[in-house]
């Protein structure tokens, strides 16, 4: 191995070790309630990697975005690891390490050498601005689009160096994968032109024609973004544009630059300044002048070197899609938006340092040593800041507490922190946060809806209904509000109102499986069995892997006197959820009803292995033993049931029968006395047996 190759391997190893060390805490983090539920934990699209589901992934928008490769990556993880947070965080970290290595490769392919590519990769790897993209499972799309974006750039540089069309094809293929990960990759054709400019390649008709396929893909995915973001006219109207947006865009360029140089007070949420309608602060007004001043300085260097322009243009072009020229959402900036664009700033700083060394040859050795020492110190500080920042993303509560520390006047944080408390079943704390949010935002439907859910969990059903009613006024086309209001009506025994709300939820969202299941349950309680069965069948059509749906339909078929069909459904439910105690119990009862007592005993035993403190299961298994005339085993099970729940009438009655059957009338009479003490109805057959013995 030559010395240069040995140094290369040391450099790559250093990048891997430093990156892994800086982000190690992410492997201990969980999911957050900021879109991780929609992307992973509650996402039905990742539950299967069957060919049909993969086609569905690639042919569907997902929560207003088209990023099928990201969804597919989650599906692969779920297939092997289910919902284990560490594997999703490990994948994010692994891709970030790969991206840091690709930064090294890309910069080395552009300008050669080892020092600047290594420094760029380490700065990219450890900068705290990247924590949001790496530590937030939902932002896998930043990592994945950048991975393929880097591959496309590297392949294109190779094409420029060798003029081999194969590498141009590889660049196009990588670009397509990048777009399938996040539409922000649409900027790549312009970056290819910047590379032509930097490498002094002639930009003529041929160089433009070769980029036509890239431009066509950019246009296609740009249209997809518009379709996903503004699917209806009302959303187009809500996307504002005015002179303020131009000021905000210029401010964004400086804002990200400032956070790059001084990565302090980072936040997962940067709200718009002031209240709606307020004039923008002075910093926004002067931002264009500062930007134009920087451009003037770049123009002065243009004749001598193309590097400063390339670095600045790389940053501006790649960040341009997220500069809020059209106001969408409630944030003015986000750390994740500059996951790739920050590379332009990194390269600009490093090339500036290299230029300083070249301009002072007599001080070159000293400046190099000072520069390396300063760079090592900076990377160490950045690594520490990144280590600390990753722990903000530990869970939802720590995330929103961090936002509250910096922006306590933002209503959305109280909604999301309240949701975090609700996940912990701390509903009173959740209500306090929702109330604070409503005081700031007025009748925001999300805060109203979530406060209604918390009230429902606390049993305050009337108050919950009042909040649902207010929420539905604000957002009358939201299926979730109707669905949960239906649950509340159901809890209050208002069957028709529950059916009306479930029906409206299904009208707005025909794919809402839970609405079919719950409406079916209401129909079953009303003894409208045909409609109940129709709803359960509809639910299974939508979700053929829904264990709870099979259970509900099985329970209904049991009521309808169709035990064989019920057993098929219970068995299917158990194949999907083998440790579901309720399903095991119901299948056991169905076997019992068919006289298959051994199979009933087997199911009750499996259920008790999972839930050994359930008195009802002991009582049911005791009844099966009794039917097999295994009276001592029956008595033992009834006794355990009574030790867990001493006043269980069924268990006392059943044990009394078992005592009589095993010729122990004295003990049977003790159980009968216990029943009299409870002042409950006593089976006349027991009274007759007591009289005979």
Looking at residue 27, the DSSP 8-state letter turns out to be G
Q: Is residue 645 part of a domain?
A: yes
> How far, in Å, CA of 491 to CA of 460, rounded?
11
CB 404 within 8 A of CB 269: no
Looking at residue 279, the DSSP 8-state letter turns out to be P
What pLDDT does residue 277 have? 67
If you average pLDDT over residues 385-405, what whole number do you get? 95
**Parallel/antiparallel/unpaired status of strands 331-333 and 270-271:** antiparallel
Which phi and psi angles does 270 have, rounded to 5°?
Answer: -115, 100
**In which domain, by residue range, is 659 found?**
613-693
What pLDDT does residue 329 have? 57
Q: What is the pLDDT of residues 591-621, one digit of tens each?
A: 999 999 999 999 999 999 999 999 999 999 9
Q: Is residue 190 part of a domain?
A: no
If you average pLDDT over residues 215-222, what whole number do you get? 89
Our CA dihedral for 585, 590, 592, 596, rounded to 10 degrees, sits at -110
CB burial string 17-54: b at 16+ within 10 A, e below: ebbeebbebbeebbbbbbebbebbbebebbebeeeebb
CB burial string 593-622: b at 16+ within 10 A, e below: eeebbebbbbbbebbbeeeeebbbbbbbbb
Whether the predicted pLDDT of 452 surpasses 80: yes
If you average pLDDT over residues 145-161, what whole number do you get? 96
CB 617 within 8 A of CB 640: no
Q: What is the pLDDT of residues 350-384, one digit of tens each?
A: 998 888 888 888 887 888 888 889 999 999 999 99
If you average pLDDT over residues 153-179, what whole number do you get? 95
531 Cβ partners below 8 Å, 6+ apart?
520, 523
CB 603 within 8 A of CB 591: yes
If you average pLDDT over residues 96-106, what whole number do you get? 97
Q: Is residue 447 part of a domain?
A: no
> How far, in Å, CA of 560 to CA of 557, rounded?
5
> How far, in Å, CA of 304 to CA of 311, rounded?
15
Q: What are the E-state strand segments in 400-557?
A: none
Of 539, 545, 542, which is closest to residue 553 (Cα–Cα)?
Answer: 539
Q: Is residue 680 part of a domain?
A: yes
What pLDDT does residue 279 have? 83
Mean pLDDT of the chain: 91
Lowest mean pLDDT among 63-67, 152-156, 606-610: 63-67
DSSP, collapsed to helix, strand or coil, labels residue 522 as: helix
Please classify residue 682 by burial: count the beta carbons closer than 10 Å to its beta carbon, then call 0-12 exposed, 13-18 middle and 19+ buried: middle
CATH code, domain with 620: 1.25.40.10
CB 146 within 8 A of CB 40: no
**112 vs 73, which has greater pLDDT?**
73
> How far, in Å, CA of 492 to CA of 166, rounded?
68
Q: Where are the alpha helices (DSSP H) in 628-682?
A: 631-644, 649-661, 665-677
Q: Which residues sit opposite 240 in a β-bridge?
A: 327
Q: Is residue 417 part of a domain?
A: no
What pLDDT does residue 523 have? 96
Q: Which residues sit opposite 327 in a β-bridge?
A: 240
Q: Is residue 602 part of a domain?
A: no
What pLDDT does residue 6 have? 79
Q: How many domains does the chain have?
A: 1
Q: What is the pLDDT of residues 231-245, one digit of tens each?
A: 444 444 445 557 788
């Amino acid at each position: 191995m030559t010395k240069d190759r040995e140094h290369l391997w040391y450099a790559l190893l250093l990048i891997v070790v430093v990156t892994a060390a800086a982000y190690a805490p992410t492997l201990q983090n969980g999911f957050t309630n900021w879109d991780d539920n929609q992307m992973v934990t509650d996402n039905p699209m990742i539950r299967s990697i069957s060919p049909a589901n993969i086609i569905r992934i690639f042919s569907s928008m997902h929560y207003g975005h088209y990023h099928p490769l990201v969804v597919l990556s989650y599906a692969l993880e779920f297939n092997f690891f289910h919902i284990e947070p560490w594997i999703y965080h490990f994948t994010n970290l692994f891709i970030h390490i790969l991206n840091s290595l690709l930064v090294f490769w890309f910069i080395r392919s552009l300008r050669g050498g080892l020092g600047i590519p290594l420094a760029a990769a380490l700065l990219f790897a450890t900068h705290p601005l990247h924590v949001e993209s790496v530590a937030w499972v939902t932002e896998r799309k930043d990592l994945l689009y950048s991975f393929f974006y880097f591959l496309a750039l590297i392949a294109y540089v190779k094409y420029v160096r060798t003029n081999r069309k194969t590498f141009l094809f590889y660049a196009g293929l990588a670009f397509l994968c990048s777009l399938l990960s996040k539409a922000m990759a649409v900027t790549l054709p312009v970056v290819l032109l910047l590379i032509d400019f930097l490498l002094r390649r002639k930009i003529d008709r041929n160089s433009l024609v070769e980029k036509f396929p890239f431009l066509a893909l950019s246009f296609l995915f740009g249209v997809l973004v518009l379709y996903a973001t503004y699917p209806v006219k009302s959303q187009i109207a809500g996307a504002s544009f005015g002179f303020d947006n131009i000021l905000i865009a210029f401010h964004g360029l400086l804002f990200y630059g400032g956070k790059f140089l001084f990565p302090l007070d980072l936040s997962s949420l940067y709200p718009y300044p002031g209240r709606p309608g307020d004039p923008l602060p002075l910093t926004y007004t002067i931002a264009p002048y500062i930007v134009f001043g920087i451009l003037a300085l770049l123009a002065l260097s243009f004749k001598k070197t193309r590097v400063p322009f390339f670095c600045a243009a790389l940053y501006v072009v790649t960040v341009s899609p997220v500069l809020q020229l059209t106001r969408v959402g409630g944030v003015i900036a986000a750390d994740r938006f500059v996951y790739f664009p920050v590379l332009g700033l990194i390269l600009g700083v490093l090339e500036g340092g290299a230029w300083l060394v070249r301009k002072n040859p007599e001080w070159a050795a000293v400046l190099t040593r000072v520069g390396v020492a300063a760079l090592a110190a900076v990377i160490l500080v950045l690594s520490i800041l990144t280590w600390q920042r990753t722990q903000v993303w530990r869970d939802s509560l720590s995330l929103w507490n961090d936002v509250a520390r910096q922006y306590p006047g933002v209503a959305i944080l109280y909604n999301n922190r309240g949701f975090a408390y609700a996940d912990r079943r701390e509903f009173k704390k959740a209500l306090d946060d929702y109330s604070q949010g409503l005081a700031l935002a007025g009748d925001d439907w999300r805060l109203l809806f979530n406060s209604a859910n918390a009230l429902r969990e606390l049993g305050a059903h009337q108050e919950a209904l009042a909040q649902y009613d207010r929420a539905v006024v604000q957002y009358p086309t939201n299926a979730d509000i109707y669905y949960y209001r239906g649950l509340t009506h159901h809890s209050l025994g208002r069957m028709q109102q529950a059916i009306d709300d479930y029906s409206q939820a299904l009208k707005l969202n025909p794919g809402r499986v839970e609405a079919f299941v719950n409406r079916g349950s209401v129909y079953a309680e009303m003894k409208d069995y045909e409609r109940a069965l129709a709803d359960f069948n509809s639910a299974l059509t939508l979700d053929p892997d829904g264990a709870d749906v099979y259970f509900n339909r099985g329970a209904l078929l049991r009521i309808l006197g169709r035990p064989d069909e019920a057993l098929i459904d219970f068995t299917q439910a158990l194949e999907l959820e083998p440790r579901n105690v309720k399903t095991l119990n119901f299948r056991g009862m169905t076997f019992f009803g068919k006289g298959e007592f051994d199979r009933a005993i087997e199911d009750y035993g499996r259920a008790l292995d999972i839930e050994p403190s359930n008195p009802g299961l002991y009582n049911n298994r005791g009844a099966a033993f009794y039917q097999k005339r295994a009276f001592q085993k029956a008595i033992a099970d009834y006794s355990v049931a009574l030790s867990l729940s001493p006043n269980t009438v069924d268990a006392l009655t059943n044990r009394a029968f078992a005592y009589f059957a095993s010729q122990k009338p004295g003990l049977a009479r003790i159980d009968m006395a216990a029943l009299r003490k409870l002042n409950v109805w006593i089976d006349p057959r027991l009274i007759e047996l007591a009289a005979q013995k």
